Structure 1
Amino acid sequence: MSDWTTDTELFALMRTELFSAVIGDVMDRMGLRHQFLPPYLAVLDRRMIIAGRAMTVLEADVFDEATDGARTPLMAKPFGLMFEALDSLGPDDVYICTGASPDYALWGGLMSTRALHLKAAGAVLDGYVRDSNEILELGLPVAARGCYAQDQAPRGKVLDYNVPLAIGRVRVEPGDIVFGDCDGVLCVPRDREREVVAAALDKVRGESAVRKALQEGMSTVEAFETFGIM
């Protein structure tokens, strides 16, 4: 019988029992060896845990906040489809954005306020955030390259959302699980999530037994031979 029946139960379980290293380990064993996003992405606070479903957002660089007469109507629209993308967030969604140069912030305090109201699980930005003190006060889990206050308004626009993305070597599909903590951010493909999470729970519970055995004096050689975990 599964440990969860709903997404709410699943993500609560992941936040409570799992961590990025153990999820990454079990995916390695399943042949899913390129699921960690680049190591420059880090949570704003080491205690933050992101666990939810990807609401993917594609950003692109531009050179004016609004350009009249362009062939693409989005060029005349400040921020492109950013507001629509943000408003599309649902409970347990993670706003995950890439495509822009790392020259400006992709997320800020007002966006965090809206995301919290929509009960989103957090945000992952392949770029920078600003209003970081406000985000920390709000408590929304956010991972990014770092903090940099330069505004996106005249520099970037959202072109589309809920479309496939690539961040580093990782393909992220809408609805995939995004998990992040102080050791990294990774993506669990939706069609493999049940076996990945079940295996990660087995491993982390097994590691508790190994830890207890080591504390009681068992050698690492004997522990690995006994439990098959290290």
Structure 2
Amino acid sequence: MTALLPATAATVTTLLLKNHGLRNTAVRGLRPNDAAACSFAGRAVTLRYLPVRDDLLAAQSLSNPTALMHRVLDRVGPGDVLVIDALGREDAGILGDVICARLKVQGVAGVVCDGAMRDVAEIRALGLPLFLKAASPPPSFVQLMLQDVDLPVACGGVTVFPGDSVVADEDGVAICPAHLAEAVLPAAAEQDRVERYIRERVLRGEKLKGLYPPNAETNAAYAAWLAAGAT
């Protein structure tokens, strides 16, 4: 889990809309498994599930050393975010506590799944940030099977490509296309810092006029605030 976010999810979606015309960047219909520990950012590693086909179940089993999930677990690491297309299904838990424990040990920043998960209390205790649609006791293979990794997926109504930036917090999950990340994320972090400065002045009783959006005088005061060592 990253200690410092590059920006908030809200500001990322705002700049993607204002500066790049991207409207569909906020994953919908998900909730944090733990609202107190749901802030993270990282690179998308995409997983796509399909309705189960019984003749392929043996290949899915973790007892099969070549199962696709083993390949996923062998390649993920610090800064990665699993983004899972589970078809919006709520009747089978995609991951459980054992796999999530391995993800935690490997430094995975978080998991975003537009379906159900199982062992949600145990996952919460692990401290692995997770956004999910629902909790469900049955294992994934009752209804779904892992079919693809590192291909474009649809998660919560948003198209996600491998390597896209994922920014999550209590507001939800934002997806920033990889080719825009260098422009958007630093700008969003700076806007968040400006707004934090403005909020402090508003809380001291100042009116919004000239503060928000900032005029030249406010921008000069903000620059002085930074020069004085504020972060």
- Name the TM tier (shorter chain): 0.7 to 0.9
The equivalent residue for 1:29 is: 18
The equivalent residue for 1:90 is: 77
Answering whether residue 176 of structure 2 is matched by residue 194 of structure 1, we say no
Alignment of 1:1-230 (within 5 A): 11-14=2-5, 18-30=7-19, 31-38=21-28, 40-47=29-36, 48-62=38-52, 64=54, 67=55, 74-79=56-61, 81-100=68-87, 101-224=89-212, 226-227=214-215
Distance across 2 between alignment mates of 1:120 and 1:82 = 15
Per the TM alignment, residue 162 of structure 1 is displaced from its structure 2 partner at its CA by 0.6
Identity %: 30
Structure 1 gap ranges (5+): 1-7, 68-73
CA contact (8 A) 2:40 2:109 kept: yes
CA contact (8 A) 1:81 1:157 kept: no
Distance across 2 between alignment mates of 1:55 and 1:201 = 23
The number of aligned residues is 209
CA gap of 1:225–1:109, structure 2 versus 1, over 3 A, is closer
RMSD of the alignment, in Å? Answer: 2.2
CA contact (8 A) 1:91 1:119 kept: yes
CA contact (8 A) 1:82 1:157 kept: no
1:51-83 CA distances to partner (integer Å, 9 max, x unpaired)?
11111001011153xx2xxxxxx4541356233
Per the TM alignment, residue 160 of structure 1 is displaced from its structure 2 partner at its CA by 1.0
CA gap of 1:77–1:225, structure 2 versus 1, over 3 A, is closer
Tell me the amino acid that sits aligned with residue 127 of structure 2: G
CA gap of 1:154–1:147, structure 2 versus 1, over 3 A, is closer
Per the TM alignment, residue 149 of structure 1 is displaced from its structure 2 partner at its CA by 1.1
Structure 2 gap ranges (5+): 62-66, 219-231
Distance across 1 between alignment mates of 2:113 and 2:103 = 14
Tell me the amino acid that sits aligned with residue 205 of structure 1: R
Q: TM-score, normalised by structure 2?
A: 0.82
CA gap of 1:224–1:87, structure 2 versus 1, over 3 A, is same
CA contact (8 A) 1:63 1:154 kept: no
Q: TM-score, normalised by structure 1?
A: 0.82
Residues 220-229 or 77-86, more deviating: 220-229
